[in-house]
């Protein structure tokens, strides 16, 4: 079993394991207007095990309930982001006015092994067929 050290910066914010991912809660109540960019504090700082990074995504119901979108597609929490004051946040864009109340589960994360070291080899030919360009496969 993986052990993750967690510091509760805002009471009532401890992560909860539901299914394959770990749910994260709003660390405080946040009111927003359509078009706002909001950094929602998640109320915790964590130290992931050596060799792991965190992948942060919205829960499946987050957009439907709150009308917010994670602005960077996937949040990547680097292993070194692990100090006592390194509170995790959920950066979102609001598509409508709304409120997320403290303690509501809005995000989910999982610990993922970091990529092993990589050495790039410059070549003139990749030895593979062209597949039609970006966004053209799977017709």
Tally: H helices and E strands in the chain: 1, 12
Separation CA 46–CA 71 (nearest Å): 22
Q: How far is CA 89 from the centre of its chain?
A: 8
Residues recorded for the chain: 139
Closest CA to 16 of 81, 79, 104: 104
- Name the token pair of 90: 């959920």
Please identify every residue annotated as catalytic.
Answer: 78
Using alpha carbons only, give the angle 11, 63, 73 rounded to the nearest 5 degrees. 90
């Amino acid at each position: 079993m993986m052990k993750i050290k967690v510091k509760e910066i805002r009471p009532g914010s401890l992560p909860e394991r539901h299914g394959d991912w770990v749910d994260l809660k709003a660390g405080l109540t946040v009111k927003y207007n359509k078009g706002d960019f909001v950094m929602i504090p998640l109320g915790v700082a964590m130290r992931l095990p050596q060799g792991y990074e965190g992948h942060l995504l919205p829960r499946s119901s987050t957009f439907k309930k709150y009308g917010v979108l994670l602005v960077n597609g996937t949040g990547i929490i680097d292993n070194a982001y692990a100090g006592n004051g390194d509170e995790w946040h959920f950066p979102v864009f609001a598509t409508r006015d709304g409120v997320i109340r403290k303690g509501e589960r809005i995000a989910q994360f999982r610990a993922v092994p970091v990529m092993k070291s990589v050495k790039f080899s410059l070549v003139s030919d990749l030895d593979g067929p062209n597949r039609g360009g970006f966004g053209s496969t799977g017709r």
